[in-house]
């Protein structure tokens, strides 16, 4: 199908494009921007994009798709539909599935279910250790050959430093990216909320910032020693931003991301014991939130992720300390990122870069841009569409959104995946 989207403001950070022009799609690929393609082009479908914006399909480095397994609610079919409703066309799913994605068979199952859903591009992340137990290394080379774009421990970081060092050295020898979530379990000490005034007032078990930064310090030393390409997932503290910034200046081969919730929420949102605000890492202080925003602006933080975790309603009806951590956030990732633009934290091109070009570069894929010849993955965004989030109406099977009742200016109107309309509002 030949598609023409005309008179629309196209934003593509990779090509430094920000202009009102036309987009041409032919044979499921980007055929041209601005000037019609050299070959004769007859548009079968024409869309007038006057007053609207067109972004490359977003690349989300961390989103759970609830399959295989029973830990989370939904399936690859339901959660990829939620993703494209938020303009996301490429999704990396962490290995904490059931069974754990620590072998070729599970990786191939995820890829097969994604092909059956045919809604978005799903990239599995393999486990560093068998069963995510932090003891025996998984077959990293086999996982890479099966299609895993990186290896991680999800939210179960390796505590044994020797095992982690060996894993990094082996990954470095085989040119495998490791995604590291930094958390010292002894310092975490079964805590559930950020160590500060709010947790003290509410009597909730505390997680100090040092639970993250002590583990980060160790991991940075091991990265320097092994030379592994490392990506730090879900950083949440001001000190982490400072440490990663210094490590980058020293030339370490590292990148990092932050969950969108950490850029808008703080420990004070926990005041009502509302378990919808139970996340891992926990929501931090206002100072931490501001430091994360500055880290984004200065380029220390490379990408923004949804950290989508769809949960059953019963999991969030438990008391705060007993509830499962996680937020359903695929459908609000773009809108919340553009709120940062409204608030002057980022300019529009930079915000989209953190959601497209940068995450694609981190995992080494040819996505997140509108380069001619690339698959036609993009979304059309209406900046004048005001709406209020009703979590009971989310496309995701998990309605555990912490942003219920928030008002947004602008909404995804349509998403195209490989030239096909996969979402239309």
Active site residues: 307
**CA distances from residue 300 to 123, 320, 348, 351 in whole angstroms, order as listed:** 25, 32, 18, 14
Other CB atoms within a 10 A radius of the CB of residue 137 amount to 18
Q: How far apart are CA 384 and CA 113, in angstroms?
A: 36
Output the six-digit token pair for 78.
């339901």
List b or e across 243-253, with b for residues whose CB sees 16 or more CB atoms inside 10 angstroms: bbbebbeeebe
Tell me the three state secondary structure of residue 329: coil
Tell me the three state secondary structure of residue 25: strand
Do 92 and 60 meet the contact criterion of CB atoms below 8 Å apart? yes
Tell me the three state secondary structure of residue 117: helix
Do 356 and 59 meet the contact criterion of CB atoms below 8 Å apart? yes
| Nearest alpha-carbon partner for 9 in 424, 379, 391, 418 | 379
Other CB atoms within a 10 A radius of the CB of residue 20 amount to 15
């Amino acid at each position: 199908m030949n598609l023409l989207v005309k008179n629309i403001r196209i934003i593509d950070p990779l090509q430094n494009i920000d202009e009102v022009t036309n987009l041409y799609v032919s044979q499921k690929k980007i055929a041209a921007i601005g000037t019609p393609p050299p070959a004769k082009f007859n548009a079968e479908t024409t869309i007038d994009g006057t007053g609207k914006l067109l972004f490359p399909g977003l690349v989300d480095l961390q989103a759970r798709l609830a399959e295989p397994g029973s830990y989370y609610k939904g399936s690859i079919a339901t959660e990829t539909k939620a993703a494209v409703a938020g303009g996301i066309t490429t999704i990396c799913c962490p290995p904490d599935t059931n069974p754990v994605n620590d072998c070729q068979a599970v990786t191939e199952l995820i890829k097969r279910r994604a092909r059956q859903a045919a809604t978005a591009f799903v990239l599995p992340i393999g486990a560093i250790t068998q069963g995510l137990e932090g003891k025996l290394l998984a077959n990293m080379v086999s996982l890479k050959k099966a299609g895993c774009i990186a290896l991680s421990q999800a939210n179960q970081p390796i505590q044994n430093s020797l095992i982690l060092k060996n894993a990094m050295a082996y990954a470095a020898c085989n040119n495998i990216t490791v995604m590291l979530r930094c958390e010292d379990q002894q310092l975490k000490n079964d805590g559930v909320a950020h160590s500060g005034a709010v947790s003290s007032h509410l009597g909730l078990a505390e997680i100090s910032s040092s639970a993250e930064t002590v583990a980060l310090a160790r991991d940075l030393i091991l990265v320097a020693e092994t030379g592994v390409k490392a990506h730090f997932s879900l950083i949440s503290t001001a000190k982490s931003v400072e440490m990663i910034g210094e490590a980058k200046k020293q030339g370490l081969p590292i990148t990092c991301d932050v969950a969108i919730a950490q850029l808008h929420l703080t420990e004070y949102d926990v005041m009502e014991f509302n378990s919808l605000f139970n996340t891992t890492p926990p929501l931090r202080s206002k100072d931490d939130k501001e430091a994360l925003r500055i880290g984004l602006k200065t380029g220390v933080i490379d990408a923004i992720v949804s950290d989508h975790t769809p949960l059953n309603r019963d999991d969030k009806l438990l008391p705060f300390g007993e509830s499962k951590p996680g937020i359903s956030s695929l459908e609000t990732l773009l809108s919340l990122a553009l709120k940062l633009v409204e608030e002057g934290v980022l300019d529009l091109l930079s915000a989209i870069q953190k959601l497209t070009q940068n995450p694609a570069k981190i995992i080494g894929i040819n996505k997140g841009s509108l380069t001619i010849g690339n698959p036609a993955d993009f979304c059309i965004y209406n900046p004048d569409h005001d709406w209020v989030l009703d979590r009971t109406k989310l496309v995701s099977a998990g309605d555990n959104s912490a942003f219920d009742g928030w008002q947004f200016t602008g909404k995804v109107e349509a998403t195209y995946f490989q030239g096909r309309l996969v979402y239309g509002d």
